[in-house]
Structure 1
Amino acid sequence: MVLKLTTTTRYILLVIFITLGLHSILSFTHEDYGNATSLRNIANQLSWGQTVNADTVGPNDALKYPDSLLTRRANACLLMLARNSDVNDAVKSVRRLEDRFNRKFGYPWVFLNEEPFSDEFKMRVSNVISGEVIFGQVPQEHWHQPDWIDEEKAKAGRDKLVQDHVIYGGSVSYRNMCRFNSGFFYRHPILQQFKWYWRVEPDVHFHCDIDFDPFLYMERHNKTYAFTITMYEYHATIPTLWDTVKDFVKENPQYVAQDNALGYLSDDGGKSYNLCHFWSNFEIADMDFWRGEAYTKFFDYLDRTGGFYYERWGDAPVHSIAVALFQNKDQIHFFDEIGYEHNPYVHCPSGQAAYTQGKCACDRQRSFDYDGYSCMRQWDRIQ
């Protein structure tokens, strides 16, 4: 049967079609047209003008609801700490995440630097971002080694790590960065307007389309912290960290969550630390947790020991230990759907459905998830 339309009807439908897009017409049949009694009903049949509450959309619904139909965003930003010399690698990361995710969702980017950003950095980065961009400088008191640190003792610690060939063992600037990421980034004036952040490093890869909103997913499911890669820390960089944590917990047992993730951190009920941590160069998290009483007291307690400088405490084990102890384990989320790479480690979605739906380009044979240095098995055992 051939459907006959008047010239006027064809014109009206063409205008609606061009204005509102192709995606819904694929499911509209001649029978639907015959059952419709007005152009408004036809539009309803086509789902043109439909909106979908983003709270109903999760990772498995990405193809069901086109991104343009989502009605709200989370109070969130994409966050990068970078130097002017990182501009080439920063542009690569931004472009990759814009292409795979943010051109569809339009979250603002925040860039922080210990020094003022150059005009070149701001221009080149802004050119590949679809929406708002904010540049800020880290306050000096949040970055540099505090005056109360015993520099002679700190230098002896650095020299020992250099002698032992530990990466960044002699770097003060690396320690500044770890301390800043552990206890200060979420206090920056620019970030006070945001609740959620997605940490992005220069020169990282996003191997799959992300057609759902991770921030809203975490809001709906009461998540605090999300990761894609987990691994062991170098013991030489944190020899006294776990003893310090145990001292804090002994003095502040009220902060330990009832259904915590201690089984991920320790193989012997908390007597020792197995060195597992979430690799924090990718993390999506709720800054209100870092700003809360438990973490504030925890960081201040750690900081007063000087371990960030006398040893080489990283923000990854500090964040991981805190969230694993002070939140219920079901508030920590593994985003298997997000293909991510920070050289040399790659997470590639394990399931064929997620791999296909995300149009992933990563080699699943290279996925780090169950490599010998990965802590994914420790994470699995508490699920």
Structure 2
Amino acid sequence: MNTTTRYVLLVFFVLIGLHSILSFTHEDYGRATSLSNIVHKITWDTSTLDPIPQEYYSDIPASNVTSRRANATILMLARNSDLDSAVRSVRELEDRFNRRFQYPWVFLNEEPFSDEFKTRISNVISGPVSFGLIPHDHWFQPDWIDEEKATVGRNKMLEDNIIYGGSVPYRNMCRFNSGFFYRHDLLQQYKWYWRVEPDVHFHCDIDFDPFLYMEDNDKVYGFTITMYEYDKTIRTLWDTVKEFINDHPEFISEENAMGYISDNGGESYNLCHFWSNFEIASMDFWRSEAYTKYFEFLDSKGGFYYERWGDAPVHSIAAALFARKDQIHFFNEIGYEHNPYTHCPRGEEVWQRGRCSCNPSRSFDYDGYSCMRQWDRIQ
């Protein structure tokens, strides 16, 4: 092929590529700017939603002396290496929510935070901020764990290509989030927390106070995304839970949400859980006798290290069993993303009011891996 022929072919393919890009951009722009294409064609089920009442929305910053606020904090577990992604998450939630309400932040790390981390984080926060060191015994693998057995379990998960299957630090984090974060000295003064992670995104304005809504309406746990757990990470978890239930039937709520986590009355676990990288919840619930004994029982079995029990199923099972189902709240109004999944609010009015940037048609709510249908079923 001579030079002239190659040049002609190159120009041809470039022109074809430009045409495709322009056609796609024009079509996509049309969709993105037409509410009829984005919202009106979406047929999400809104019949089970529990909308936030108007009284919890505010146009006045909470710094006003007459404003009412809950005893709450926004909580992030992060490492110094997470700084850039942590700043992005903090800045988004500040812009979308906390610049109005100015709740304090608490950051926890198993190593001391660097001066750079503290300076850059403090620079984008509108209210008080605290940085804490996690106690050694709350983070690292306990001495009583059989390391040989734990190594076998990790190697098996590596063979099965399970994400974080071979990671001890990930298991430390899951155990800490399951049973220790609410014991930290910096959190003892608070009842409520909003868990935020590095590199998450908030797609809508949140001009209501979720903490006050939870407090006033006797809620204990709030979520945005619900999905299935990897069954190979929690092989013995449900049998352990059933053993605990048999020993302590007094802790099970009469109005529980067993129907969300089991399709056969508790005989087996259907793997549904609330995705705990987003939680707005009561630490008093975790500090209760029921949850304390539950966590201690689970911890004594070693499943956080012999398998890879996550804080998401551990929290979700506890909320489903020990709380009334009406004490668990789905925050439809909060547009939230933790890659690769996004919850975009259902309902045109909610989507517009929140000035949401997410596309409702790409919401995870009724994806094949979502458990939203199970949640809707018990409402």
Q: Which position in structure 2 is the counterpart of 1:17?
A: none
How far apart are 1:372 and its partner, in Å? 0.3
Equivalent-residue separation in structure 2 for 1:66 and 1:274 (angstroms): 44
Alpha-carbon contact 1:225-1:285 (below 8 Å) kept: yes
Inter-CA distance 261–63: structure 2 relative to 1 (3 Å threshold): closer
Matched, 1:232 2:228: yes
How far apart are 1:302 and its partner, in Å? 0.2
Equivalent-residue separation in structure 2 for 1:276 and 1:64 (angstroms): 34
Alpha-carbon contact 2:60-2:100 (below 8 Å) kept: no
Matched, 1:244 2:240: yes
Matched, 1:111 2:107: yes
How far apart are 1:65 and its partner, in Å? 5.2
How far apart are 1:225 and its partner, in Å? 0.1
How far apart are 1:269 and its partner, in Å? 0.7
Alpha-carbon contact 1:59-1:212 (below 8 Å) kept: no
2:73 equivalent among 55, 71, 77: 77
Matched, 1:315 2:336: no
TM-score by length of structure 2 reads 0.85
Q: Which position in structure 2 is the counterpart of 1:262?
A: 258
How far apart are 1:320 and its partner, in Å? 0.1
Q: Which position in structure 1 is the counterpart of 2:173?
A: 177
Q: Which position in structure 2 is the counterpart of 1:192?
A: 188
Alpha-carbon contact 2:56-2:213 (below 8 Å) kept: no
Q: Deviations over 1:277-336 (max 9, x none)?
A: 000000000000100100000000000000000000000000000010000000000000
How far apart are 1:67 and its partner, in Å? 4.3
Alpha-carbon contact 1:266-1:273 (below 8 Å) kept: yes
How far apart are 1:350 and its partner, in Å? 0.6
Q: Which position in structure 1 is the counterpart of 2:217?
A: 221
Q: Deviations over 1:21-59 (max 9, x none)?
A: xxxxxxxxxxxxxxxxxxxxxxxxxxxxxxxxxxxx955
Equivalent-residue separation in structure 2 for 1:85 and 1:107 (angstroms): 25
Equivalent-residue separation in structure 1 for 2:254 and 2:262 (angstroms): 16
Match of 1:226, SS state, is strand
Q: Which position in structure 2 is the counterpart of 1:275?
A: 271
- Structure 1 segments, 4+ long, off by >3 Å, are 57-70
Question: Percent of aligned pairs with the same residue?
Answer: 72
Matched, 1:207 2:203: yes
Aligned AA (1:256): I
Equivalent-residue separation in structure 1 for 2:97 and 2:185 (angstroms): 26
Alignment of 1:1-383 (within 5 A): 58-61=52-55, 66-67=60-61, 71-383=67-379
Equivalent-residue separation in structure 1 for 2:97 and 2:149 (angstroms): 46
Q: Deviations over 1:339-380 (max 9, x none)?
A: 000001000001101101111000111100000000000000
Alpha-carbon contact 1:179-1:314 (below 8 Å) kept: yes
Equivalent-residue separation in structure 2 for 1:187 and 1:109 (angstroms): 16
Equivalent-residue separation in structure 2 for 1:339 and 1:331 (angstroms): 21
Aligned AA (1:272): S
Choose between structure 1 and 2 for higher RCO, CA contacts under 8 A separated by at least 6 residues: 2
Equivalent-residue separation in structure 2 for 1:366 and 1:112 (angstroms): 33
Q: Which position in structure 2 is the counterpart of 1:33?
A: none
How far apart are 1:135 and its partner, in Å? 0.1
Equivalent-residue separation in structure 2 for 1:211 and 1:62 (angstroms): 8
Match of 1:193, SS state, is coil
Q: Work out which of the two has the higher radius of gyration on C-alpha atoms and give 1 or 2.
A: 1
How far apart are 1:62 and its partner, in Å? 5.9
How far apart are 1:159 and its partner, in Å? 0.2
Q: What is the RMSD of the two structures over their aligned residues, measured on CA atoms?
A: 1.3
Aligned AA (2:153): G
Alpha-carbon contact 1:58-1:213 (below 8 Å) kept: no
Equivalent-residue separation in structure 2 for 1:304 and 1:131 (angstroms): 39
How far apart are 1:64 and its partner, in Å? 6.9
TM-score by length of structure 1 reads 0.84
Aligned AA (2:119): M
Aligned AA (2:347): G
Equivalent-residue separation in structure 2 for 1:332 and 1:78 (angstroms): 19
Q: Which position in structure 2 is the counterpart of 1:24?
A: none
Match of 1:97, SS state, is helix
